[in-house]
Amino acid sequence: MSLNHEDEKTTKKSHAFGFYVWIRGLPVFVVNLLF
In the chain, the amino acid numbered 27 is: P
C-alpha span between 3 and 10 (Å, rounded): 11
Extents of the domains making up the chain: 1-35
- State the DSSP string of 13-34: HHHHHHHHHHHHHHHHHHHHHH
* 1 vs 26 pLDDT, higher one: 26
Q: Is this model's pTM higher than 0.75 or not?
A: no
> pLDDT tens across 4-30, in order?
677 888 888 888 898 999 899 998 888
14's CB contacts (< 8 A; 6+ apart) are: none
Give the pLDDT of residue 1.
Answer: 53
Maximum distance among all Cα pairs of the chain, rounded to whole angstroms: 51
Give the pLDDT of residue 29.
Answer: 87
- Overall size of the chain counted in residues: 35
Give the pLDDT of residue 3.
Answer: 62
Give the pLDDT of residue 2.
Answer: 60
